[in-house]
Structure 1
Amino acid sequence: MGLAIDASCDLPQDFLQQHDIAVMPIAVTVDKSTFKDDRNPAEIERFLNLNLGSRSHSAETEPCSVDDVQKLFLDKLVLEKDCVFCLTITAGRSAIYDNVIKASFAVLKNYRKVREPAGITGPFLMRVLDTRSLFTGSAPCVVEAVRLIQANETPAAMRERLAYIAENSYGYMLPRDLYYLRARAKKKGDRSVGLFSAVLGSTLDIKPLLRGYRGETTPVGKVRGWEHGCEALFSYAADRVRAGLLVPVMCTAYGGDLSELPKLPGYDQLVQACQECGVTLMQAPMSITGMVNVGEGAVTIGFAAEEHNVDF
């Protein structure tokens, strides 16, 4: 059993390596600089060191193509695994889900031509799942998939459980720069952050809290000031930890030097709540794809929980 994710899913590199999780890359071009977003820490550091700043909103992103997905599977994964679950960012935000679905037809049609000469018998299964969220919001599904594999669950049981977790996964984002977010949204034809909101936010230092949930990305609250926003977000996350999670993990990410994340206001409250409740707190650098879409300096959290009311 194996797993594949797209690069926008924010999980620590050591977790991906430990569990042999394949990453389907996203190509990112800013001005004349091109990046292969595959969660490689060195590439993320190169992106940050170039200080592209506000120019990144004009970036072009190209998700792993149908041909690239086929190549990844037929050249590598069908020789290493008997079943692979592909977990992707919500289909409404990227073409990667549709590309993987299209690629799966060719993979399932041609895998025998690859496996049999290598002396590998038996069928190969490929399952594709839309996580219904984005960035850290996609992470709980991946963590749960690892647990299910370790528990020797069947592919059918895994699919059912992961579909339930995806339906109840939350990804929250606190952007630092609303003008950047509006410029990026305008380029992509996304009307979720209007000009008035951007001007108001910058004038009064009001920041929106955005949520990816069940395939939709919407503002769910406003906070005054960046530091207060961090404190409100982490306090909410700590409350959800104490209320109980469907997967015992809270995933956090930062669009910059990761050493800055634990220093943010309220983060210590989240650390304490996770320690008290036996919940694993993960820290990951935000993907290059995430940073060009939300802006550098953004903070995100992701977890899976029963449906609940949100009040910021």
Structure 2
Amino acid sequence: MRIGVAIDAACDLPHDFLERNGIAVMPITVKVDDQKFKDDRDPAEIQRFRDQKLGSRSHSAETEASSVEDVQDLFLDRMVRDFDCVVCLTIMATRSPIHDNVIKASFAILKSYRPVREAMGHTGPFLMRVVDTRNIFAGSGPAVAETVRMIQAGKSPAEVRERAAHVADCSYGYMLPRDLNYLRSRARSKGDRSVSFLSSMLGTALDIKPILRAHRGETGPVGKVRGFEHGAQVLFEYAAKRVQAGLLVPSLSLSYGGDLDDMRNLPGYHPLTRICGDAGVEILESPMSITGMVNVGEGAMTIGLAGEDHIAEF
């Protein structure tokens, strides 16, 4: 059985990884003032967004996930022709409508696929499996990587979906924002009062950065550090300890809202890569999605890994 993968554009993964594994991307439309961007993990489009230097104006951007109709078109035009089953992985349903849109689209797709497949000479049924990664940005990476690994190992659609859902439950996504004022402005534009004016002012004045965690559909602060570079080192060292303790998936995801060489020059990065190499853990590093940069600001960093339940102390 030919099993394919489709992801939400806000799942941060390298473009070459997506290309190599034939992974389809369900795009997000981003509008900033009179500029429009198609967020589909295309490196050129991500660079175009960064080159615009929109800065503080991006906090008021509008984002529009793939609609039910968009998902239907993607599948009927491409996926039902190329595969017998497709596993769709989205960022957490509590933060985006894309998961619900895919579920709704699946009903129409499963009613309409037969003529398309028959015209291609495919007489067998078409299956869809939808997985909420319960995470965002790089935090969605482990579930996608494990889905690919299971498919390559020849597992059945049921086994692939069950394993992906389990990894999603065990995935931890951590984010270190660079600009608290931007984060507060973006939160307020979306009606989220979780980043108060006072805390953002104090944080900016003292260079205090929160460490935010996404896990099982919830996001919130789990620590704070002084200075972005120190925060990056703290996160890299934490990730290295988790690798040494043993991950559920031999992949670790990194995404950065800027030039990846800047991330690679942060303290703690090179020791982490050495530890991952020794443990046989693949590092999947990528530019942050346009959607991610709009929501948390350029220069932010996220890390995703899957492991047993544990308490992270920062």
Q: TM-score range by the shorter chain?
A: over 0.9
- Counterpart of 1:36? 38
Work out which of the residue numbers 304, 307, 314 in structure 2 matches 1:305. Answer: 307
Q: Is the 8 A contact 2:147 2:161 kept in 1?
A: no
Q: Does 1:201 align with 2:225?
A: no
- Counterpart of 2:126? 124
Work out which of the residue numbers 83, 86, 102 in structure 2 matches 1:84. Answer: 86
Cα distance in 2 for partners of 1:282, 1:79 equals 29
- Counterpart of 1:236? 238
Cα distance in 2 for partners of 1:218, 1:111 equals 41
Structure 2 counterpart SS, 1:93: coil
Identity within the alignment, %: 65
Q: Cα distance, 1:191 vs. partner? A: 2.6
- Counterpart of 1:70? 72
Number of residue-to-residue matches in the alignment: 312
- Counterpart of 1:61? 63
Cα distance in 1 for partners of 2:165, 2:255 equals 23
Work out which of the residue numbers 127, 144, 151 in structure 2 matches 1:149. Answer: 151
State which drifts further: 88-97 or 154-163.
154-163
- Counterpart of 2:142? 140
Equivalent residues in 2 for 1:287-298, closer than 5 Å: 287-298=289-300
Which residue identity lines up with residue 302 of structure 1 in the other structure?
A: G
Q: Cα distance, 1:192 vs. partner? A: 2.5
Q: Cα distance, 1:74 vs. partner? A: 0.5
Q: Cα distance, 1:283 vs. partner? A: 1.1
- Counterpart of 2:97? 95
Q: Is the 8 A contact 2:7 2:23 kept in 1?
A: yes
Cα distance in 2 for partners of 1:106, 1:193 equals 40
- Describe the superposition over 1:150-205 as per-residue Cα deviations: whole angstroms up to 9, x where unpaired: 11101111111111100010111000000000000111122332222211110111
TM-score with structure 2 length normalisation? 0.98
Q: Cα distance, 1:259 vs. partner? A: 1.8
- Counterpart of 2:175? 173
Q: Cα distance, 1:127 vs. partner? A: 0.7
Which residue identity lines up with residue 130 of structure 1 in the other structure?
A: D
| Structure 1 moving runs of 4+ over 6 Å | none
Q: Which runs of 5+ in 1 are unaligned?
A: none
- Counterpart of 1:164? 166
Work out which of the residue numbers 181, 184, 201 in structure 2 matches 1:182. Answer: 184
- Counterpart of 1:47? 49
Equivalent residues in 2 for 1:223-302, closer than 5 Å: 223-302=225-304
Equivalent residues in 2 for 1:3-22, closer than 5 Å: 3-22=5-24
State which drifts further: 188-197 or 218-227.
188-197
Structure 1 counterpart SS, 2:210: strand
Q: Which runs of 5+ in 2 are unaligned?
A: none
Structure 1 counterpart SS, 2:192: coil
TM-score with structure 1 length normalisation? 0.99
Which residue identity lines up with residue 183 of structure 1 in the other structure?
A: S
State which drifts further: 194-203 or 282-291.
194-203
Which residue identity lines up with residue 132 of structure 2 in the other structure?
A: D
CA RMSD in angstroms, aligned pairs only: 0.7
Which residue identity lines up with residue 72 of structure 1 in the other structure?
A: L
Which residue identity lines up with residue 34 of structure 1 in the other structure?
A: K
